[in-house]
């Protein structure tokens, strides 16, 4: 028992002895020190930031932002009212409305609108019909205005316009405001009467601004996300990328509590929601116009953690510490990562190459840790695998050679035939620029080309005379037998082209499948020429060896019938080097490819 265990202990001791500095020590110690530094820094940051005041700070900021938004809306309404008054007092305006002079109205209104930077001016007559619509051209930064007679919106039906047309007055005057959908957008309008010199109403003037422009300007000025809602909570315009509508119940509660104390109103109008994994808090208040009527709701939103701030000194200290730690992490991390991952990356690449079949890959060795030892064992493993593969291939090839030798010995009259055709086939095949792997498969196929004849009885295989029709049927089964024998062997499947197809003919009259022209695998087309050459130039029981010149003449005569013409040409280039006394036949071009009728070829 002790003898059996001892080798295992020795191997274990050897592997441990070679690892002088374990890999986990190389990784653990530097990052342990780094973690301690980060922990100390984090503790310092947490102590410096009083996080329990964050919510209060956010709420205070939201309240201030909502207040600023409301004040801005009041200022914007007053600015629009100023433009409205300027238009009402523009000389000639009332006469142009009475005359319905579109060109005159446009000339008078454009000057005021351009000076005040207004987006839209609409003038109605006293019946509520649009006389002039003046609006800025969309997508154009310059003050280009379009003049129209109206595009179908019934402004006279708007509640705030109705009050102007009816000549109503409230505690702040005869001008009224509201929101309307016009020209594919929501607009905020202020409207007022247009009177003549006798104070008789001749029409109504509206000055409008799109809600999208309003929220965009608000966003720039108060640095918060702004959303305008109608009284039911529907979104009219917003700067949020993925806004969420206000529940109707909450909208009604906010409007109902507009007269309550400030704190209660703020608590009821606050809500949170998520956009793109960012948590927002929104404070919603009523949107009132100059006569205190509520026309909608205004919401100001901020990211919850946006207002976690510190003093200037703390920010400098924390920033310096964080920068130092990040730099330390970067330098140490890059150095350690390079040292560790470089050999591991090489191992990954080498493993991929081994997995794809490349067993010649080797890794550079060196080092004193587990990765270095793993590299050495990897090289040993791959070398052993490669040697095993080579031994297995050698065993396969020796077995194939043995089969071929056995076939030759079975028929003494063809002894040496397999070796000769294999060598010549490989020589011709190399002229076609095939890969080494393909040439290896051609060699195996040539060695096994007559493996199917193992099923042919001796009385047929060794018969000295001509075979009968029944015997020919049996003989011609040997390519199919070769296929059935070799196909189940996956290792030999790529070498099947020659054993299965070397009796096919270029014109399709061959067997066993009747393949034609390039349907026949290239290896089989090459082998068929070499096989006929060797058979005809060798002694057989039924005839003596033929003169090589006669055989060459025959091969050229059978171009396009039995053989691939290109293969015959390549074969001639090869065989003429070993038989310099042969003359190349010249076949008449007008007789090539005729079905069974060929004139004799002349010679050079």
DSSP letter assigned to residue 599: P
Q: What is the pLDDT of residues 357-416, one digit of tens each?
A: 777 777 777 767 777 777 778 788 877 877 776 676 676 667 676 666 666 666 555 557
- Residue where a domain terminates, one of 307, 334, 358: 307
CA atoms within a 13 Å half-sphere pointing along the CA-CB vector of 337: 6
Predicted local distance difference test score (pLDDT) of residue 9: 41
Residue closest to 205 by CA, chosen among 275, 128, 289, 138: 128
**Statement to judge: residues 417 and 491 lie in one domain:** yes
**Statement to judge: residues 98 and 189 lie in one domain:** yes
Q: What is the pLDDT of residues 548-558, one digit of tens each?
A: 999 999 999 99
Dig out the tokens for 131 from the structure: 């006389």
- Residue where a domain terminates, one of 212, 243, 277: 212
CA atoms within a 13 Å half-sphere pointing along the CA-CB vector of 379: 12
Containing structural domain, residue 287: 54-65+215-307
pLDDT above 60: residue 132: yes
Predicted local distance difference test score (pLDDT) of residue 594: 40
**Does 453 or 343 have the greater pLDDT score?**
453
What SS3 class is residue 193?
Answer: strand
Mean pLDDT of 273-282: 74
Residue 109 lies inside a defined structural domain of this protein:
yes
**Statement to judge: residues 460 and 569 lie in one domain:** yes
Please count the other Cβ atoms lying within 10 Å of the Cβ belonging to residue 37: 15
**Does 205 or 356 have the greater pLDDT score?**
205
Residue 116 lies inside a defined structural domain of this protein:
yes
The mean predicted confidence, pLDDT, of the chain is: 78
Domain tally, the chain: 3
Predicted local distance difference test score (pLDDT) of residue 480: 92
pLDDT above 50: residue 192: yes
**Statement to judge: residues 506 and 447 lie in one domain:** yes
Residue 596 lies inside a defined structural domain of this protein:
yes
**Statement to judge: residues 489 and 571 lie in one domain:** yes
CATH number, domain containing residue 294:
3.30.450
**Statement to judge: residues 534 and 424 lie in one domain:** yes
Residue 486 lies inside a defined structural domain of this protein:
yes
**Statement to judge: residues 287 and 434 lie in one domain:** no
Residue 489 lies inside a defined structural domain of this protein:
yes
**Statement to judge: residues 219 and 201 lie in one domain:** no
Dig out the tokens for 245 from the structure: 């509508």
**Statement to judge: residues 165 and 123 lie in one domain:** yes
Dig out the tokens for 456 from the structure: 């042919």
Burial of 145-162, coded b for 16+ CB within 10 Å and e otherwise, reads bebeeeeebebbebebbb
Q: What is the pLDDT of residues 213-269, one digit of tens each?
A: 898 988 888 878 889 998 888 898 998 887 888 888 888 888 887 666 444 445 556
**End-to-end Cα distance, the chain:** 84
CATH number, domain containing residue 418:
1.10.3210.10
Residue 343 lies inside a defined structural domain of this protein:
no
Share of residues in the chain with pLDDT > 90 (%): 18
pLDDT above 50: residue 527: yes
- Residue where a domain terminates, one of 212, 233, 264: 212
Residue 570 lies inside a defined structural domain of this protein:
yes
DSSP letter assigned to residue 1: -
**Statement to judge: residues 288 and 435 lie in one domain:** no
Among 114-128, 312-326, 518-532, the range of highest mean pLDDT: 518-532
pLDDT band at 11 (very low <50, low <70, confident <90, very high): very low
Among 267-281, 444-458, 489-503, the range of highest mean pLDDT: 489-503
pLDDT above 80: residue 294: yes
Residue 151 lies inside a defined structural domain of this protein:
yes
Predicted local distance difference test score (pLDDT) of residue 319: 75
Sign for the pseudo-dihedral over CA of 477, 479, 481, 483: negative
In the chain, how long is the greatest CA-to-CA distance?
139
- Output the CA torsion 448→453→454→458 (10° steps): -140
**Statement to judge: residues 253 and 161 lie in one domain:** no
Three-point CA angle 575, 577, 582, nearest 5°: 65
Enter the pTM of the model: 0.44
**Counts for the chain of helices (H) and strands (E), in that order:** 20, 13
Mean pLDDT of 47-68: 61
CATH number, domain containing residue 99:
3.30.450.20
- What's the rounded Cα separation, in Å, for the pair 442 and 438? 6
Dig out the tokens for 371 from the structure: 């990765």
Cβ atoms of 246 and 287 within 8 Å: the answer is: no
**Statement to judge: residues 97 and 228 lie in one domain:** no
Helix (H) or strand (E) holding 169: none
C-alpha distances (whole Å) from 408 to each of 368, 415, 456 are 58, 5, 14
């Amino acid at each position: 028992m002790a003898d059996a265990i001892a080798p295992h202990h020795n191997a274990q001791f050897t592997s441990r002895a070679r690892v002088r500095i374990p890999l986990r020590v190389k990784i653990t110690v530097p990052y342990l020190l780094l973690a301690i530094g980060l922990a100390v820094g984090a503790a310092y940051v947490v102590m410096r930031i009083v996080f329990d005041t964050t919510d209060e700070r956010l709420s205070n900021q939201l309240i201030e932002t909502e207040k600023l938004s409301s004040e801005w809306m009041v200022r914007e309404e007053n600015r629009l009212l100023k433009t409205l008054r300027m238009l009402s007092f523009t000389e000639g305006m009332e006469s142009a409305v009475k005359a319905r002079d579109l060109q005159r109205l446009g000339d008078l209104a454009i000057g005021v609108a351009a000076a005040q930077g207004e987006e839209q001016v609409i003038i109605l007559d006293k019946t509520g019909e649009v006389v002039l619509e003046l609006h800025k051209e969309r997508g154009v930064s310059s003050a280009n205005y379009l003049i129209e007679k109206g595009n179908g919106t019934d402004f006279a039906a708007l509640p705030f316009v109705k009050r102007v047309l009816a000549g109503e007055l409230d505690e702040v005057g005869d001008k009224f405001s509201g929101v309307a959908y016009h020209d594919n957008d929501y607009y905020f309008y202020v409207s007022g009467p247009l009177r003549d010199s006798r104070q008789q109403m001749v029409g109504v003037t509206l000055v409008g601004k799109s809600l999208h422009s309003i929220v965009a300007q608000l966003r720039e000025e108060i640095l918060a996300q702004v959303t305008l809602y109608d009284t039911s909570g529907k979104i009219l315009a917003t700067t949020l990328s993925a806004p969420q509508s206000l529940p109707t119940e909450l909208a009604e509660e906010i409007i109902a509590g507009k007269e309550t104390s400030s704190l209660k109103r703020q608590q009821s109008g606050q809500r949170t929601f998520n956009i793109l994994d960012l948590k927002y808090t929104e404070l919603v208040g009523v949107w009132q116009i100059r006569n205190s009527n509520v026309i909608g709701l205004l919401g100001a939103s901020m990211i919850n953690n946006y207002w976690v701030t510190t003093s200037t000194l703390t920010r400098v200290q924390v920033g310096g510490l964080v920068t130092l730690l990040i730099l330390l992490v970067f330098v140490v991390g890059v150095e350690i990562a390079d040292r560790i991952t470089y050999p591991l990356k090489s191992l990954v690449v080498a493993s991929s190459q081994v997995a794809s079949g490349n067993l010649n890959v080797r890794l550079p060795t060196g080092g004193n840790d587990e990765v270095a030892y793993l590299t050495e064992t990897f090289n040993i493993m791959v070398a052993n695998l490669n040697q095993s593969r080579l031994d297995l291939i050698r065993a396969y090839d020796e077995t194939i050679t043995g089969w071929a030798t056995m076939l030759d010995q079975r028929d003494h009259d063809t002894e040496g035939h397999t070796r000769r055709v294999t060598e010549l086939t490989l020589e011709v095949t190399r002229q076609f620029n095939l890969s080494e792997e393909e040439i290896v498969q051609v060699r195996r196929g040539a060695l096994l080309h007559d493996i199917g004849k193992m099923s042919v009885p001796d009385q047929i295989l060794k018969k000295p005379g001509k075979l009968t029709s029944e015997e020919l049927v049996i003989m011609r089964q040997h390519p199919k037998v070769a296929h059935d024998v070799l196909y189940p062997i996956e290792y030999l499947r790529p070498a099947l082209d020659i054993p299965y197809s070397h009796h096919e003919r270029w014109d399709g009259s061959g067997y066993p499948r009747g393949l034609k022209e390039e349907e026949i695998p290239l290896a089989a087309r090459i082998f068929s020429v070499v096989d006929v050459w060797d058979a005809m130039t060798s002694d057989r029981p039924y005839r003596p060896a033929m003169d090589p010149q006669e055989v060459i003449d025959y091969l050229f005569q059978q171009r396009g019938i039995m053989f691939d013409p290109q293969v015959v040409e390549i074969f001639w280039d090869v065989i003429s080097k070993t038989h310099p006394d042969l003359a190349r036949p010249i076949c008449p071009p007008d007789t090539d490819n005729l079905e069974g009728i060929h004139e004799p070829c002349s010679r050079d």
